[in-house]
Structure 1
Amino acid sequence: MAAAPTRVPRPAVIYFFGALGGILFGYETGIIAGALAYIHETPGFEPNAVATGLIVGGISLGAIAGALLAGKLADRVGRRRVILGLGAIFIIGSIACAVAPDNTMLIIARVFLGLGVGGSSALVPVYMSEMAPARMRGRLAGLNQLMIVTGLLLGYLVNLALAGSGDWRLMLASGALPAVLLVAGLPLLPESPRWLVAHGRTEEARILLEATRSEAEAEVDLAQIDKVSEPTGSRRELFSRWVRPAVIVGVGIPILTQFTGLNIVTYYAPTIFDGLGIEHQNALAFTVILGAVKVAAVAVGLTFIDRVGRRRLFSVGSAVMAVCMLWMAYEAAKGDALNPLSMLIAMSAMFVGYSVTWGPVNWVVLGEIYPLRVRGAGMGLSGMITWAATLAITFGFPIMRDGWGLTASMIFFAACNVVGLVFVWRYVLETKGRTLEDIELDLRHRAEPAKQKSAVTAVR
């Protein structure tokens, strides 16, 4: 086990390596999108809708378990130790995918790799939220999403670079490289100050806080952390009355994020373009354009998140993505008369709408809403739901497309975005500029009237 750093590195170094798990998450998503066509040209990897869905969606199966395990372990043994384990899983899983001899073994390797993807999705937002000062938590916690889309773009670029050879095994093996960088950088990664205080290591937390914010901010944060700090709670406590509003948001937002329809573009853009009669190498080039648009959009979105607020960005994103999905449905309905440039513009607008709003804001809010006592377990639950919903989309979309057609499928996702808009205004409270401890105390205070009412009823 790597030793904890004896000296606190510069904040930029902490935030870079803290968010690096997001690159692994995005890379594995992007690399499979381009490799899929070449995999099915290899003997032993006969194409069919179920196999395709499991190869792409198998990572989501593993991610469900990975998110739950990583969240609970992070509460018990610390965030950084679990991050080390995730790096090892990415290295082993990438190599296992590359040497798989048939569909069955590739699916098993993808499920194993999913343990790392799910753990990363549950842990990185928590770690970044706990490390960041309240005034800039949105931007810093949102680095996770920037890393995800950067990894996605890197995966697309590797796909395009290797398209001439069609070497899908090398494509999948390359996922081990960023994982090696993560493991190598672990000695520079300190433990979360919230976790340190919860485990009686207050002086270490003070040193870390003073190194990552002003002395005044550090004192205020330490006092507030101490106020809510208790031993790690059980997963059962997630369903207590006072935590329930956070759980509603922590379950609803991941489901609605996946049902924006963004992932059908992310995972299946090359095959969608192939199906529309566009040459595969051109389809990969289009996908790189989409990935670059997404990185730029997330970078822009991070400048708004601490100024505009979470709820407003969610709402704007839902409206924009509903329109984009209807636009894509209109183009798909044209059949052979489809305008590829118009479809690319619609997909790019969809990427921008998601990447400025739901993409980063989803992970920021999930990292903020849970109380410290159950934050790891809560984020594990949200991660599990995220990947269950992702599995439903990645496995179900090829079947949905075959049964309903592309046009009807896109209309369905447009409707889901309208549902997302309603959910946000009904259940999501604004967290902009508030400390994690303020958010937790608000949960407790909101539960007090219900407790008082129950007590009065009992007396009567």
Structure 2
Amino acid sequence: MAAARGYQICSTSHIGDTWILDRRWKLCPRQLELSSSRRGSFVPLRKHLSVSRVDSKFNPRDGSRFFGIKVHLEEESETSEDSDQANAKVEVSKATKQPPSRISDWDLSWLPVLPHVVTAAMANFLFGYHIGIINGPLVSIAKELKFEGNTLLEGFVVSIFIVGAFVGSISGGVLSDAVGRRRTFQICAIPLVLGAALSASAGSVDAVILGRLLVGIGIGVNTALVPLYISEIAPTKYRGALGSLCQIGTCTGLIAALIFGIPAETDPHWWRTMFWVATLPGLLLIVGMQYAVESPRWLGNVGKWDDASSTIEKLWGKENVEEAIKELRNANINKEEEASWSELLTKRYFKVASIGGALFALQQFAGINGVLYFSSSNFQDAGITNSIAASAAVGFSNLAGAFVASSLMDSQGRRKLLMGSYTGMAFSIALMVSALNIPMEEQLSHTFSVVGNLTYVFTFALGAGPVTALIIPEMCSTRIRAKALAVSLCVHWVCNFAIGLLFLEFVQRFGLSAVYTSFGVVSLLSVLFTNLYIIETKGRSLEEIEKILLGSESA
């Protein structure tokens, strides 16, 4: 045996079955197995190991905690220093997790990022507000602008928003890659402000339609840009929780539109005030982004490494700059020019791009918009005739689910939340279908319907809503992230438009029970799809995820 040598083991947030030797031993708690990464190989050692913590240091950037440990490495006498196989023998006491003993031990690494994330989430607030702003006052708008009773024109005023969002989704990826994430926020806030002002001062239906189109373009850019930006600036450990603020922002906007729209029931001109109010968050977004940081990953991608370093220091701390820049540089070693749209169809990127589109298609065809459409009638049948109370119940269920998702995203992982969410949605659909088809006492049937409705909205907000938008930019490399997310959002808006166009037709032709059943089937298929094709991104840096995906694609 060769002489024993001292090494240091550090425990990381990486999930896997291997311990890796790369200057330091890295401890992975899943399986006591030791490997050497010299010359890129991984050779397992079958010796059981236990370790004791000597000291520790928390890394706020990715949530890992490094433990100083003394290891005695015994090598076989016939094996050279450069050998990839060795036997390790350590005698250590069992380590246990303990709560922080003093306030300085608490992890507040998310705090410097929070103002920038909240500023970005203002765009999602506008998304929710503009969805809610048109539902109640539409009758008053049609009456004042003299197109009341023209159902085709009323539907067009609502759906032109989706057409604009589709256009914005296509252009947003190109714009954010060209001028950066921060400037794109400011540029796309311009049509949000102008569109709201144009609708507020409209003297004809044409002006309202143009205003809704402009707002849709701004929202289309933002629905892709917000999760992209948050995923690129958030610490790895809190990327899920901070990313769920997208859904919370949308829910808050919906509730704000609901509350602020209460006077519209008695004041037929109140809708103009509601549109004027919508200009304020847009202006706040423009001003707020002037003080927000640029994405360090975008800065690195365009070669602005000094700016990237200063941004990382501001967001994640000075002690993490060197390691973070090293990761970004490694990810850019083989950097080519920005990916073209056609490259998304190549073998290297097609899988990730198609998974993103499939996730949004499944999200829409699982029926969230259809269930929301019939929620008011379900509440009326149950004796809740106040439309505001019914909408408030649905809105707060959505918000509650988003907050729960925020607390679980980084502890339970994206895959679990996504699968649990769709499972809950399928169960909720089963309750509503049972209320429609199974003979039971009338009040019990109404209770099943209302509970199923609220549970569906709650479970949607647990995963299908926030995780879908978050996990797509996490799974994409920096080179294609903006474009892949743009394509995925285009699929989202096309499916959204199709559901809005065909839902009532299908209900009339096949019945509500059959349509709801199809939603339940799609929800179950979504569970299967997630299990087969979605990797867990929790606790992994975007660069690490990129290596895993590119490695699996080349294998």
TM-score in same-fold range (> 0.5): yes
Report whether the alignment pairs 1:211 with 2:314. yes
Unaligned runs of 5+ in 2: 1-110
Match of 2:461 in 1: 355
Residue of 404, 407, 419 corresponding to 1:303:
407
Separation in 2, partners of 1:141, 1:258: 20
Give the drift of 1:82. Answer: 1.0
Kindly provide the amino acid, as one letter, of the partner of residue 328 in structure 1.
M
Separation in 2, partners of 1:116, 1:63: 7
Report whether the alignment pairs 1:365 with 2:468. no
Map 1:27-426 → 2, pairs under 5 A: 27-42=129-144, 44-47=146-149, 50-101=152-203, 103=205, 105-166=207-268, 167-229=270-332, 230=335, 231-266=337-372, 269-270=375-376, 279=385, 282-332=386-436, 341-426=447-532
Separation in 2, partners of 1:121, 1:271: 29
Give the drift of 1:151. Answer: 1.0
Go from structure 1 to structure 2 and tell me whether the alpha carbon gap of 1:328 and 1:169 turns closer, same or farther (over 3 Å shift): farther
2:378, 2:446 within 8 Å by CA — same for their partners in 1? no
Larger helix share, 1 or 2: 1
Separation in 1, partners of 2:398, 2:159: 22
Give the drift of 1:276. Answer: 8.7
Once structures 1 and 2 are overlaid, which stretch shifts more, 408-417 or 60-69? 408-417
Go from structure 1 to structure 2 and tell me whether the alpha carbon gap of 1:336 and 1:37 turns closer, same or farther (over 3 Å shift): farther
2:506, 2:515 within 8 Å by CA — same for their partners in 1? yes
SS at match of 2:303: coil
Separation in 2, partners of 1:92, 1:274: 37
Separation in 2, partners of 1:205, 1:432: 24
Kindly provide the amino acid, as one letter, of the partner of residue 432 in structure 2.
M
Kindly provide the amino acid, as one letter, of the partner of residue 303 in structure 2.
G
1:94, 1:176 within 8 Å by CA — same for their partners in 2? yes
Match of 1:17 in 2: 119
Give the drift of 1:242. Answer: 1.6
Separation in 1, partners of 2:273, 2:522: 37
Match of 1:454 in 2: none
Give the drift of 1:447. Answer: 2.4
SS at match of 1:315: helix
Give the drift of 1:283. Answer: 1.3
1:314, 1:358 within 8 Å by CA — same for their partners in 2? yes
Identify which of structures 1 and 2 has the higher relative contact order when contacts are C-alpha pairs closer than 8 Å and 6+ apart: 1
2:168, 2:219 within 8 Å by CA — same for their partners in 1? yes
1:253, 1:362 within 8 Å by CA — same for their partners in 2? yes
Give the drift of 1:207. Answer: 1.2
Kindly provide the amino acid, as one letter, of the partner of residue 326 in structure 1.
A
1:53, 1:395 within 8 Å by CA — same for their partners in 2? no
Give the drift of 1:31. Answer: 1.8
1:32, 1:267 within 8 Å by CA — same for their partners in 2? no
Write out per-residue CA displacement over residues 321-363 of structure 1, whole angstroms, 9 at most, x where no aligned residue.
1121232234456899576554332221111101111111111
Go from structure 1 to structure 2 and tell me whether the alpha carbon gap of 1:52 and 1:349 turns closer, same or farther (over 3 Å shift): farther
Give the drift of 1:35. Answer: 2.6
Write out per-residue CA displacement over residues 207-235 of structure 1, whole angstroms, 9 at most, x where no aligned residue.
11122124444332221111223342222
2:133, 2:258 within 8 Å by CA — same for their partners in 1? yes
Once structures 1 and 2 are overlaid, which stretch shifts more, 400-409 or 233-242? 400-409
Once structures 1 and 2 are overlaid, which stretch shifts more, 69-78 or 172-181? 172-181
2:139, 2:148 within 8 Å by CA — same for their partners in 1? no
Match of 1:443 in 2: 549
Kindly provide the amino acid, as one letter, of the partner of residue 180 in structure 2.
G
Give the drift of 1:273. Answer: 5.4
Give the drift of 1:238. Answer: 1.8
Go from structure 1 to structure 2 and tell me whether the alpha carbon gap of 1:163 and 1:367 turns closer, same or farther (over 3 Å shift): farther
Separation in 2, partners of 1:335, 1:276: 14
Kindly name which structure, 1 or 2, has the bigger radius of gyration based on alpha carbons. Answer: 2
Once structures 1 and 2 are overlaid, which stretch shifts more, 32-41 or 267-276? 267-276
Once structures 1 and 2 are overlaid, which stretch shifts more, 93-102 or 206-215? 93-102
Give the drift of 1:52. Answer: 4.5
1:67, 1:118 within 8 Å by CA — same for their partners in 2? yes
Give the drift of 1:289. Answer: 1.9
Separation in 1, partners of 2:441, 2:263: 29
SS at match of 1:20: helix
The root-mean-square deviation of aligned C-alpha atoms, in Å, is 2.6
Once structures 1 and 2 are overlaid, which stretch shifts more, 156-165 or 178-187? 156-165
Go from structure 1 to structure 2 and tell me whether the alpha carbon gap of 1:159 and 1:342 turns closer, same or farther (over 3 Å shift): farther
1:53, 1:398 within 8 Å by CA — same for their partners in 2? no
Give the drift of 1:125. Answer: 0.6
Once structures 1 and 2 are overlaid, which stretch shifts more, 168-177 or 128-137? 168-177
Go from structure 1 to structure 2 and tell me whether the alpha carbon gap of 1:33 and 1:264 turns closer, same or farther (over 3 Å shift): farther
Separation in 2, partners of 1:42, 1:330: 42
Go from structure 1 to structure 2 and tell me whether the alpha carbon gap of 1:358 and 1:17 turns closer, same or farther (over 3 Å shift): same
Once structures 1 and 2 are overlaid, which stretch shifts more, 34-43 or 284-293? 34-43
Separation in 2, partners of 1:373, 1:409: 40
Separation in 1, partners of 2:441, 2:291: 54
Give the drift of 1:152. Answer: 1.4
Match of 2:42 in 1: none
2:113, 2:233 within 8 Å by CA — same for their partners in 1? no
Separation in 1, partners of 2:362, 2:251: 19
Question: How many residue pairs end up in the alignment?
Answer: 439
Go from structure 1 to structure 2 and tell me whether the alpha carbon gap of 1:145 and 1:25 turns closer, same or farther (over 3 Å shift): same
Once structures 1 and 2 are overlaid, which stretch shifts more, 341-350 or 306-315? 341-350
Kindly provide the amino acid, as one letter, of the partner of residue 185 in structure 1.
G
Once structures 1 and 2 are overlaid, which stretch shifts more, 47-56 or 151-160? 47-56
Separation in 2, partners of 1:192, 1:267: 38
Give the drift of 1:203. Answer: 1.1
Go from structure 1 to structure 2 and tell me whether the alpha carbon gap of 1:373 and 1:116 turns closer, same or farther (over 3 Å shift): same
